[in-house]
Structure 1
């Protein structure tokens, strides 16, 4: 196996930056129109969001011991939900939605993806909506596109901020129309985890990537020797990207989606990055959650009265380890949490069967054990919003899915 040079690495990083599965710098904003007044918004949280930090099981006696450096539970500023779970302070502005029943969560969920913990594969499987038997293959369409295919009169449209690829989740054979925004959206909100996401899953790439000067090369646009630390370089790269695209925020993306949903669109999907919290999780998670909070707030405000007919699903490719690592972060895991919002949901509750965090309860002795397929919640939402039949949900839209009992998501 040949060794990558640093120049090769720069070229490869530039090419990978145009891949929807790999890079949070690409922001496909996908829509579909349909003859219904109900609306569905899917927000993809790229980077493996830590559901245990989003909705903290502070009532589990094993949780605090697994994360001694994390602020956990109401005593540390989190918002109590039900006496067992608390909500991370980063979503504190959404507590009025929880109290009004317009915000809820499903815990210990995942896609069928297991063990390999690759962002690339995990995100592809999340958007394709297939079973693990399709892992590593080519995906011709995504589950939202397959939904559009069986909805009479539905069409899809995609606005791309950067690059030429469609979002996989709405890619496919459903009838499409050409459309583009009136103004250039630019790049998505920058995340300092971009290159970290890339090197974890490729040993050759990781080997060449280890030098901190690589970050300096990207920032300065030339090969040179750098003397900054790896974390400083990550932060500098993120600041550079953010400064050049200060007009684009999670809120502006959500506001743009709300505008389209108030017009002809009835289904929308976009991504938020920044969830790969291998180090310094307290700060990184707080920042990412504030972006998510802003997105949901802008959707609610932008939709106005149509918020009452809307379901928002925020989902991620996999979760993170129960135990913290040596860098005050968490590593790639399995089970995570699903966020649900919107005036159409029956919220104010944390759904799902809690598996526990004690000895023998964890997946592979390290991760939150999934107790339900996250696709089932998405499927039940579509059944309630659009009247999609169970047979289509379990076979055509989500192959190999077992719907299970109706969780009663909608009002």
Structure 2
């Protein structure tokens, strides 16, 4: 079978860049589109417990369902919902209207509660994990935004993120590979592949990508100093791969990139949730604040969506954790979005109100929230949103999420 240039860049033969120049833990995808609006989609892998992150202490059944988890306190937001203590550093964003939530939301995925299928549905933006549509909704967005060009998206790492996979080309390379880019080495590669259009073009593009990343590493170092000196960071520990990831994304978004997507793991809290979830929330808070400081004057044109594949059971289990559920929560941030609010219709937590007698009942498709953000940022038509980007989604009323 003949290989295309894209196959070469996505395959194991792709050339790499210095491991020190890029984040290592997750693939990262970027895209360039016209305009000054910036969109960041963070996939929270493992199923974040929205009932713990955004605690409905105003619901009369909440404390009884979670006698241990509900006892952890939290900052009141609106008289009904309270914020998990680990997200306290984000309170200034809430107060400024730059942080919000959507509760009782989910993808159309139900019942089987498989991480793999749930994440595929989330990233593909479809209703059925077994369907034929196997590209990502961000890739389909890049295809319909006027003025977007092909070959504008790329990913870091050996694994591909489905959310930005598709017809818009994605150049992909492995950051752990070492590539000596001195002039002699580059000339040798050019000579070896001379006369072979496939390998010659693939090599040239891979070398160019590696050189860009090495150059951007120097800018990222300068950005690190700026972030560390900003008082907004407070007691945030500026170390770890999640910080490097956020700094790298902020650096790209301050340049030509306008869309970024990456994932954060650690949300599958079957046991000792009171110990494990705060660590994941600490990392998420650090990422959001790093993006806030790193994007600086661009923050007012930035929208960040934090999405997870499904929620967790309303009752805590025997190991002081929660199991795979249905309804959950979306976190959103950015100066381009109208925060300081909890969106969604609260379904209640009585036995009669639960989904399948065990889960929070979803009252809105999370794809609808994402769709209205794309509508507000890029002017995508509702017919395109419901027909191509998120096939079959019920958009419902505009929640006014974009300023």
Tell me which interval the TM-score lies in, with the shorter structure as reference length: 0.7 to 0.9
2:282 aligned to which of 275, 290, 293: 290
Distance in 1 of aligned mates of 2:282 and 2:300: 23
Per the TM alignment, residue 407 of structure 1 is displaced from its structure 2 partner at its CA by 0.2
Distance 2:169 2:46 in 1: 31
1:256 partnered with 2:245: no
**What's 2:230 paired with?**
none
CA displacement, residues 327-347 of structure 1 (integer Å, 9 cap, x when unaligned): 000000000000010011111
Distance 1:138 1:248, change over 3 A: farther
Counterpart position of 1:182? 214
Q: Report 1:44-83 matches (<5 A).
A: 44-72=43-71, 76-83=72-79
> What number of residue pairs does the alignment pair up?
320
User: Is 1:146 the counterpart of 2:136 in the alignment?
Assistant: no
Change (3 A) 1:401 1:44: same
> Partner of 1:276 in structure 2?
268
Cα distance in structure 2, aligned partners of 1:119 and 1:63:
26
Superposition deviation, residue 137 in structure 1: 4.3
Match of 2:372 in 1: 380
Structure 1 CA distance, aligned partners of 2:324 and 2:216? Answer: 34
Structure 2 CA distance for partners of 1:67 and 1:184, relative to 1, 3 Å: farther
Q: Does residue 1:370 correspond to 2:366, yes or no? A: no
Query: 1:140: how far off?
Result: 3.0
How far has the Cα of 1:70 moved from its partner? 1.4
Decide which of 97, 106, 111 is 1:110's aligned counterpart. 106
Q: Name the CA distance, whole Å, in 1 between partners of 2:289 and 2:214.
A: 23
| Contact 2:153/2:170 (8 A) holds in 1 | yes
Q: Is the Cα–Cα contact under 8 Å of residues 353 and 361 in structure 2 kept in the other structure? A: yes
Equivalent residue of 1:105, what SS?
A: strand
Aligned 8 A contact 2:155 2:170 in 1: no
Bigger Cα displacement from structure 2, 351-360 vs 172-181: 172-181
Matched, 1:169 2:201: no
Counterpart Cα distance in 1 of 2:254 and 2:391: 31
Aligned to 2:301: 309
Q: Distance in 1 between matches of 2:328 and 2:154?
A: 28
**Which residue of structure 1 aligns with residue 84 of structure 2?**
88
Answer yes or no: is the 8 Å Cα contact 1:320–1:331 preserved in 2. Answer: yes
Determine if contact 1:158/1:166 at 8 Å carries over to the other structure: no
Q: How far is the alpha carbon of 1:176 from its aligned partner? A: 4.7
3-state SS in 1 of match to 2:214: coil
Structure 1 residues 361-393: Cα deviation after superposition (integer angstroms, max 9, x where no partner): 000000000000000000000100111110100
Counterpart for residue 158 of structure 1: 154
2:392 to 383, 397, 400: 400
Residues 376 and 403, structure 1, Cα contact 8 Å, conserved in 2: yes
Matches within 5 A, 1:3-14: none
Displacement after TM superposition at 1:154 (Å): 1.9
Q: Secondary structure at the match of 2:155?
A: strand
**Partner Cα separation in structure 1 for residue 133 and residue 376 of structure 2:** 27
Offset from partner CA, 1:247-305 (integer Å, 9 cap, x none): 64212111111110010100000000000000000111100000000000010111001
Partner Cα distance (1:60, 1:248) in 2: 37
Tell me, in whole angstroms, the C-alpha distance in 2 between the residues paired with 1:310 and 1:184: 21
Q: Which whole-Å CA distance do the structure 2 matches of 1:109 and 1:183 have between them? A: 41
Structure 1 residues without counterparts, runs of 5 or longer: 1-24, 186-245
Which whole-Å CA distance do the structure 2 matches of 1:264 and 1:40 have between them?
Answer: 13
- Tell me, in whole angstroms, the C-alpha distance in 2 between the residues paired with 1:174 and 1:47: 28
Work out the CA distance in 1 between the residues paired with 2:273 and 2:253.
34
2:25/2:241 contact within 8 Å kept: no
CA contact under 8 A between 1:145 and 1:169: conserved in structure 2?
Answer: yes
Counterpart for residue 317 of structure 2: 325
* In structure 1, C-alpha distance between the alignment counterparts of 2:25 and 2:117, rounded to whole Å: 17
**Is the contact made by 1:154 and 1:175 (CA closer than 8 Å) also made in structure 2?**
no
Equivalent runs, 1:228-267 vs 2, <5 Å: 248-267=240-259
How far did 1:395 drift?
0.4
Question: 1:138 and 1:166 mapped to 2: Cα distance?
Answer: 18
Distance 2:355 2:215 in 1: 46
Alpha-carbon distance in 1 for matches of 2:309, 2:77: 25
Q: Which residue of 2 aligns with 1:227?
A: none
- Tell me the SS of whatever aligns to 2:40: strand
> What is the match of residue 299 of structure 1?
291
Deviation, structure 1 residue 26: 5.4
- Which runs of no fewer than 5 residues in structure 2 stay unpaired? 1-23, 172-204, 218-237
How large is the RMSD of aligned CA atoms in angstroms?
Answer: 1.8
Q: 2:97 aligns with which of 77, 87, 101?
A: 101
